[in-house]
Chains A and B, each alone.
Chain A
Amino acid sequence: MAHSAVGVIFSNIHDENIPELSRHRTMASIPYGGRYRLIDFTLSNMVNSGITTVGIVTKNNYQSLIDHLGSGKDWDLARKDGGIILLPPYSDDTDAPYTTRLEALMGITGFLTHRNEDYVIITDCDGIARVDLQAILHFHEEHNADITMVYHEETEPVQSSYYITLQTDAESGRVKGLKINPKLKGGKYDLYVNIMVMSREFLINTIQDAVTRGLSSFGRDILTKNVDTLRIYGYKFGGYYATISSLRNYYSHSMELLQREVRDELFGARDVYTKVRDSAPSKYNEGAVVKNSLISDGCVIEGTVENCILFRGVKVGKGSVIKDSIIMQDTVIGTNVSLEAVITDKNVVIRDRRHLAGCDALPYFIAKGRML
């Protein structure tokens, strides 16, 4: 039988990692993979795991997120009971809005106490993966854990400004050590991927205890301090997991979608839901040359596109050559343009005969609405 759980998604928490893309939006609403926003992967994992009550914690810049989510119907989350519940910051005259995850959780205790699900799954929006959350709930129950933290084995240096690594007992899965922002000397390490499971009751008690004791950091005050006393377990996620923590790895992880195995894993078995836009199908005119690229609906291609990701409604004019680039929604590229390793945000216009190039390590970024 499926475990009942309520989802809590933090939409803002890693904004500072990608200032380029989160200047006007939340981490959750950063466009990804041609027709998605980062939150779509997390929300789809919830829906596909039978979790249909999802609180979304917001702080600032969440207009684009509200616009994206609408009533939640595109995720089948427009429900009478539950569905998507936006949780904007709560503050009265005496309190400033939250600054830490723990304070944010204190602000949503009302939401948590009024639900009746057994468990809470807390996640962020920085992960691209297909995760079976029921399997994690099952693991949590089986190990009689207080907290289950999901981790993924990484080799690349982490680029986030805040991260947690775990040392787990290989036999039992029990977390023995938990470090915040440790210096990594290279080699393998287990990165906590910001998916955590607790019973709803445990979470509410923990929050109330933190309030009375004046604690402020979930990582420092609760996890690291209690790693020996609490039953914290690590759940190893073995599939494809891309943590987006910089513009550079946003770029490299996006490009991984051009590999069939990655697409098959992310999109093959279950659907990834997103907002529907009613674009026309993409049109490849005579003279179009498209190689190894992902193309969304509503595009019109008359030039050359190689190793690219084109979002919805992109136009590529005649004689233009676009390589190794991510071109976001409604970008218009004129004629005889050449782009290499470029990321354009939404609604960019690139006039005829412009030549722009970045490199793998530093893709050339063009901000939303700019005209070149």
Chain B
Amino acid sequence: MLLAGGQGSRLYALTNNIAKPAVAFGAKYRIIDFPLSNCINSGIDTVGVLTQYEPLELNEYIGNGQPWDLDRAFGGVHILSPYQAKKKQSWFEGTANAIYQNISFMKKYNPDYVLILSGDHIYKMNYAEMLRAHKATGADCTIAAIEVPMKEASRFGILNTREDGSIYEFEEKPKQPKSNLASMGIYIFSADKLFKYLEMDDKDPNSSKDFGKDVLPAMLNAGERMFSYRFHGYWKDVGTISSLWESNMDLLGEDPVFDVSDPDWKIHSRNPLAPPEHIGDEAVVSNSLIALGCEVDGYVKNSVLSSNVTVEEGAEVTDSVIMAGTVIRKGARVHYSIIDENDVIEEGATVGEPKESGNGIAVLGRNISVAGSVAGGKIIDKDYRGE
């Protein structure tokens, strides 16, 4: 069960009209490609995707699930949206409530275990190994966990565990964290326990209907067996502009921090229909990812270009993420920016400031035209003609 309904308000202009899991990533992917690819690569072929905020583009992207080999006669991928029922009608309120409202979907498949995922993380993980651990410990709930820097620990749900990995305390975003073992928002439940606690949580008027705040503490207080599952690979919450930028940059280099080209763990995606990219006579391209359909005649360094991006002669793009279909006209300069789809950076315009300036990442929303100069750290979501 993949939670994909979040607004992602900290991505500002990038999620004005689309849900966070549909945000473009790494030149040819969208964030949701990672959990979906992990599912199919782990042998999980029944996936419910819970959508709520601006679902149009996300629904269209997922379609019948064919790009992930999830178009199945039995199971496959299902979009689960909020619905009207005889006795009630409501939006999904909190993560636990979203799953609760889809209990009948889960029960239809009569599962032994339910895996809960969120649609806003970039990582490669074999859920089958986590399930093996869940069975081996005889847990009722297993929570994937990763060590984070101590100073960032208060941003996460923190697990305090015994030596055998069992959890004795769960703290949601603690001011004074006791450990740096953070919950990754990936849970495996034994199905009957999940259904039981979701039903209890629904009846609790004081509950905020959230896994981290309500359901997990309730299970722990009731003495259920809860274990952590240590994950040691790359994992990044791309819920903020700076983490989204960093995660894109982690794909670059000879020995990238995060490798998307592992033939044994393919990241599947809906591929753009585009010819190979053309790099022109005057172009300089270095330390960058370039997707199909790009036409590059300018200077591109330390950047990630999605499909069908044009960089005209004399234009300069450094330390930036450029999403599909954007055109950077002659002599325009783009530094330290995230630029959404189908924008036009007009001739001679400047977007962002070099990273060293310390003024932060400039962000442009989609389908706009920008002239003049956009300062570092600015967020623009309408046509712009300078200050």
Residues of A within 8 A of B (CB): 33-35, 73, 258, 260, 263, 266-267, 271-273, 276-298, 300, 302, 309-310
Interface status of B126 (Cβ within 8 A of chain A):
no
Neighbour of B278 across the interface among A278, A293, A298, CB < 8 A: A293
Chain B contacts with A in 275-320, Cβ cutoff 8 A: 275-281, 283-292, 295, 304
Q: Across the interface, name the chain A residue whose C-beta is closest to B291.
A: A281
Q: What would be 28 A-B contacts, judged by CB atoms less than 8 Å apart?
A: A73-B66, A260-B295, A263-B275, A266-B275, A272-B275, A278-B266, A278-B267, A278-B268, A278-B269, A280-B28, A281-B260, A281-B289, A281-B291, A282-B277, A282-B291, A283-B251, A283-B288, A284-B285, A284-B287, A284-B290, A285-B254, A286-B253, A288-B286, A290-B279, A292-B281, A293-B279, A295-B278, A296-B276
Neighbouring B residues of A258 by C-beta, 8 Å: 278
Interface centre among B269, B276, B281 (most CB of A within 10 A): B276
Given contact pairs A278-B266, A281-B291, A284-B288, A34 touches B276 in the complex (Cβ within 8 A): yes
Neighbouring B residues of A309 by C-beta, 8 Å: 276
Complex CA–CA separation, A310 to B27 (angstroms)? 18
Complex CA–CA separation, A295 to B252 (angstroms)? 17
CB of B22, distance to nearest CB on chain A (Å)? 18
**A267 and B275 within 8 A (CB):** yes
Complex CA–CA separation, A278 to B27 (angstroms)? 13
CB of A157, distance to nearest CB on chain B (Å)? 29
Neighbouring A residues of B283 by C-beta, 8 Å: 290-291
**B277 and A283 within 8 A (CB):** no
CB of A130, distance to nearest CB on chain B (Å)? 12
Interface status of B261 (Cβ within 8 A of chain A):
yes
CB of B294, distance to nearest CB on chain A (Å)? 9
Interface status of B365 (Cβ within 8 A of chain A):
no
Interface status of B206 (Cβ within 8 A of chain A):
no
Complex CA–CA separation, A106 to B278 (angstroms)? 44
Neighbour of A286 across the interface among B254, B267, B268, CB < 8 A: B254
Given contact pairs A278-B267, A290-B279, A295-B276, A284 touches B286 in the complex (Cβ within 8 A): yes
* Chain A contact surface mostly: loop
**B28 and A295 within 8 A (CB):** no
Neighbouring A residues of B281 by C-beta, 8 Å: 291-292
Neighbouring A residues of B290 by C-beta, 8 Å: 281-282, 284, 295
**A297 and B292 within 8 A (CB):** yes
Complex CA–CA separation, A285 to B254 (angstroms)? 6
Neighbouring A residues of B286 by C-beta, 8 Å: 284-288
Complex CA–CA separation, A30 to B254 (angstroms)? 32
17 more contacts with CB within 8 A, not counting A33-B275, A285-B286, A297-B291, are A267-B275, A273-B273, A281-B260, A281-B292, A281-B304, A282-B277, A283-B251, A284-B290, A288-B285, A290-B283, A291-B283, A295-B279, A296-B276, A297-B276, A297-B292, A298-B261, A302-B254
How many residues from B make CB contacts under 8 Å with A?
38
CB of B277, distance to nearest CB on chain A (Å)? 5
Interface status of B271 (Cβ within 8 A of chain A):
yes
CB of A44, distance to nearest CB on chain B (Å)? 10
Complex CA–CA separation, A273 to B268 (angstroms)? 18
Interface status of B55 (Cβ within 8 A of chain A):
no
Neighbouring A residues of B66 by C-beta, 8 Å: 73
Neighbouring B residues of A272 by C-beta, 8 Å: 273, 275
Neighbouring A residues of B280 by C-beta, 8 Å: 291-292
Interface status of B26 (Cβ within 8 A of chain A):
yes
Residues of B within 8 A of A (CB): 26-28, 66-67, 251-254, 256, 260-261, 266-269, 271, 273-281, 283-292, 295, 304
**B271 and A280 within 8 A (CB):** no
CB of A271, distance to nearest CB on chain B (Å)? 4
Interface centre among B26, B67, B261, B267 (most CB of A within 10 A): B261
**A282 and B289 within 8 A (CB):** yes
CB of A332, distance to nearest CB on chain B (Å)? 13
**A294 and B277 within 8 A (CB):** yes
Neighbour of A34 across the interface among B275, B279, B284, CB < 8 A: B275
Neighbour of A297 across the interface among B28, B252, B284, CB < 8 A: B28
**A294 and B278 within 8 A (CB):** yes
Interface centre among B251, B268, B279 (most CB of A within 10 A): B279
**B276 and A35 within 8 A (CB):** yes
Q: Across the interface, name the chain A residue whose C-beta is closest to B301.
A: A286
CB of A371, distance to nearest CB on chain B (Å)? 19
Neighbouring A residues of B251 by C-beta, 8 Å: 283
Q: Across the interface, name the chain A residue whose C-beta is closest to B71.
A: A73
Neighbouring A residues of B271 by C-beta, 8 Å: 276-278
Complex CA–CA separation, A297 to B293 (angstroms)? 10
**A263 and B278 within 8 A (CB):** yes
Neighbouring A residues of B28 by C-beta, 8 Å: 280-281, 297
CB of B84, distance to nearest CB on chain A (Å)? 33
Complex CA–CA separation, A266 to B276 (angstroms)? 12
CB of A46, distance to nearest CB on chain B (Å)? 16
Neighbouring B residues of A285 by C-beta, 8 Å: 253-254, 286-287
Neighbouring A residues of B260 by C-beta, 8 Å: 280-281
Complex CA–CA separation, A131 to B385 (angstroms)? 42
Neighbouring A residues of B284 by C-beta, 8 Å: 289
Complex CA–CA separation, A293 to B295 (angstroms)? 10
Complex CA–CA separation, A115 to B219 (angstroms)? 63
Complex CA–CA separation, A310 to B274 (angstroms)? 15
CB of A98, distance to nearest CB on chain B (Å)? 35
Complex CA–CA separation, A278 to B266 (angstroms)? 7
Q: Across the interface, name the chain A residue whose C-beta is closest to B268.
A: A278
CB of B204, distance to nearest CB on chain A (Å)? 44
Q: Across the interface, name the chain B residue whose C-beta is closest to A78.
A: B66
Q: Across the interface, name the chain A residue whose C-beta is closest to B277.
A: A295
Neighbouring B residues of A271 by C-beta, 8 Å: 273-274
Complex CA–CA separation, A10 to B285 (angstroms)? 41
Q: Across the interface, name the chain A residue whose C-beta is closest to B256.
A: A283
CB of B34, distance to nearest CB on chain A (Å)? 13
Complex CA–CA separation, A309 to B279 (angstroms)? 11
Complex CA–CA separation, A34 to B253 (angstroms)? 24
Complex CA–CA separation, A300 to B280 (angstroms)? 18
Neighbouring A residues of B285 by C-beta, 8 Å: 284, 288, 290
CB of A128, distance to nearest CB on chain B (Å)? 12
